[in-house]
Structure 1
Amino acid sequence: MSAFAADQPSAEPTDPFGSDRWPELRHAFFEGAQFTFDDRVKVSAPEVAEDPFDVVVSVDATALPEVEEVLVIADFNPFPQALRFTPGRASAALGFRLKLDGSTPVRAAARTSDGRWHLNGTRVQTTSGGCSLPASGSSHSDWQETLNQVSTRIRPTPDGGQRLRIEISHPMDTGLVQGIPIFHIDTLEIANGAGQRLMRIEPGPPVARDPIFTLDIPAGALGPGPIRISGRDNNGNLIQAEAAP
């Protein structure tokens, strides 16, 4: 997939996946914006996902300069926007897990400081129902007792930085199952001990139950003191935790 500028007057950019949803997605997310299909954005996911409720995805836009935000889209999900993240002092890369409602392209769009979007993706084959069929979610009897509890793990990376893994207890219900309202984490802020943003994550309903987020923090970005994790879900329940580097 080579880079192709959408603002070239001679041709409309062609979706490399040939997705029937692409015209709708282009209008919804990129209308009036400049964008390219760009190999420097890496999206990794299994070619065949056996469990549509728990599909491991990673996005890496670190090859681009000055990434200001990254949008993750699953074309054929009832909620195409799966997640958005804003890198601060952390690298422009994130690992997470999604629910998919069937086989679909999974795309990442990274916006750089010049306002241009850089898109790439991968196609995932899976069975239907990850978003619209009952899963464990709020049907677990203990979910209220553990709601928004956070566990973390920090490991050094070969380049002298740190890899932070955050797991949050939350049902992440899509609202598409009868009798179970939409209920998901809305925002998550990760900051260093000085209060400087490492990353802001805005998970959508397609993020899998008990979400796990993995991010890389370059050497020197942490500073003294613990990593601070804060956020809330769409019902206003707060998330508060600290992680010692």
Structure 2
Amino acid sequence: MTRRASLLLAALLALCSPGQGQATPADPLGSPMWANHAAWLLGKAPVRFDPAVIVTMPDVTENQHVFPVTVDARALPKVQRIVVLMDLNPLPVAIDYQPEGALAYVSLRIKLDQRTPVRALVLTADGIWHVAGRWVDAAGGGCSAPPVSRVKGDWAQHLGEMRGRLWPQADQTRLRVTVRHPMDTGYVDNIAAYNIESLRLRGAAGQALGTMTINGSVSEDPAFTLLLPPGLGGPVQVHMADSNGRTFDGTLAP
């Protein structure tokens, strides 16, 4: 996603957050960028730093190009959006996920360009943003080094190849989907920004299950694990689109 598109996304997020005129509470992580991000992402909506939002990730980054993050906000009622934010990344927003018919849960892999807070911002139907996260150490360069597929030179032959599956369980249906894509950030010399921009999930009857806006700070060959309601045996239709106008479609089943 280009910088212009990132700013448009930020403006849209702010517009979707009702202004309550309440001051944002002090950041428990002491990030130098939090006040700025809160202003352009959340506007004047009320904010709570909330342990009900569970963000699971490693303490130290072993590979800054592929850093796993899981957000579980199922303890909150009527979740509308889940945003994954890396305060000090050049592309700070990784995803903006609207669960719609899905459960309030997402797992993905991101790029980290330096030591930074990694957070989940969760909007509930009452207009409150619930925030959780922590500092993560990273060696740097996650956004400014070419992806492996660019180095190997095989990315074009596999672009858009999609794999995935459903795992129905008694209390939920687990969905995992991956797609081959270089997810170029635009911060590597002579390589323009090029990334998956959106993901949409639909059930067998066409019902909306989830919609996600995706940024170039998501790792190469994006992989997402989502949770759907129990009893959803599939199939689930997956539609993705990238910043060059290409679309990729797949069908997931148990």
The TM-score normalised by the length of structure 1 is 0.91
Tell me which of 190, 194, 203 is aligned to 1:179.
190
CA distance, structure 1, for counterparts of residue 21 and residue 221 of structure 2:
43
1:23 to partner: Cα distance:
1.6
* 1:153 aligned residue: 165
Deviations 1:139-160 (A, max 9, x none): 3322112111110122233x34
1:107 to partner: Cα distance:
0.6
Contact 1:69–1:112 (CA<8 Å) still a contact in 2?
A: yes
Matched, 1:226 2:238: no
Matched, 1:115 2:134: no
Matched, 1:65 2:77: yes
Tell me which of 144, 147, 164 is aligned to 1:132.
144
Contact 1:161–1:217 (CA<8 Å) still a contact in 2?
A: yes
Deviations 1:122-178 (A, max 9, x none): 221110100112332433322112111110122233x34221110100000000001
Tell me which of 160, 178, 181 is aligned to 1:167.
178
Contact 1:226–1:242 (CA<8 Å) still a contact in 2?
A: yes
Q: Secondary structure at the match of 2:51?
A: coil
* 2:61 aligned residue: 49
Q: Secondary structure at the match of 1:56?
A: strand
In terms of fraction of residues, the more helix-rich structure is 2
Taking structure 1 as reference, are residues 65 and 12 closer, same or farther at Cα in structure 2, changes over 3 Å only?
Answer: closer
CA distance, structure 2, for counterparts of residue 83 and residue 210 of structure 1:
15
List gaps (5 residues or longer) in structure 1: 1-5
* 1:3 aligned residue: none
Instruction: Name the % identity.
Output: 39
CA distance, structure 2, for counterparts of residue 14 and residue 194 of structure 1:
45
Q: Secondary structure at the match of 2:176?
A: strand
Q: How many residues align?
A: 236
CA distance, structure 1, for counterparts of residue 253 and residue 147 of structure 2:
33
The TM-score normalised by the length of structure 2 is 0.88
Q: Secondary structure at the match of 1:48?
A: coil
* 1:214 aligned residue: 225
Q: Secondary structure at the match of 1:198?
A: strand
Matched, 1:195 2:206: yes
CA distance, structure 1, for counterparts of residue 21 and residue 54 of structure 2:
24
List gaps (5 residues or longer) in structure 2: 1-18
Taking structure 1 as reference, are residues 123 and 153 closer, same or farther at Cα in structure 2, changes over 3 Å only?
Answer: same
Q: After TM superposition, list the pairs within 5 Å mapping 1:101-112 onto structure 2.
A: 101-112=113-124
Contact 2:197–2:215 (CA<8 Å) still a contact in 1?
A: yes
Larger deviation: 163-172 or 132-141? Answer: 132-141
CA distance, structure 1, for counterparts of residue 21 and residue 181 of structure 2:
44
